[in-house]
Amino acid sequence: GENVEQHPSTLSVQEGDSAVIKCTYSDSASNYFPWYKQELGKRPQLIIDIRSNVGEKKDQRIAVTLNKTAKHFSLHITETQPEDSAVYFCAAPTGAAGNKLTFGGGTRVLVKP
């Protein structure tokens, strides 16, 4: 079936180190790959997204890379800070004509000071 796999499920890093989260998708027609951040007790918010016509996109300390051949995309957070501690979700369009968004299982990131 159409699904989005996300790894790891938990990630603990030391402040200042980098964090990488990887997602794989099965629908080769998917062309939009967003990442959402959900802080404890808050609603998910979009932090970055990438479309299939580019391989990488950066926004300050976060970046997303896309490998369409291998059907995977990754979130990179550099120089991690305590406020980066949250649950991160990847997503990709699935279903007929990509008319729904399927989310990965989430990665709980803990940045230790």
27 binds another protein, rule: CB under 8 A: no
Residue closer to another protein (CB basis): 63 or 101: 101
83 torsion bin: left (phi>0), alpha (psi -120 to 50), beta (else):
alpha
Which member of 13, 20, 29, 101 binds another protein (CB under 8 A)?
101
**The one among 13, 31, 68, 78 contacting another protein by CB under 8 A:** 31
Q: CA-CA distance, 45 to 88, in Å (whole number)?
A: 9
Give the HSE-up count for residue 64: Cα atoms under 13 Å, Cβ half-sphere. Answer: 24
The residue ranges that bind another protein (CB under 8 A) are: 6, 9, 31-32, 34, 36, 42-46, 49, 89, 93, 98-106
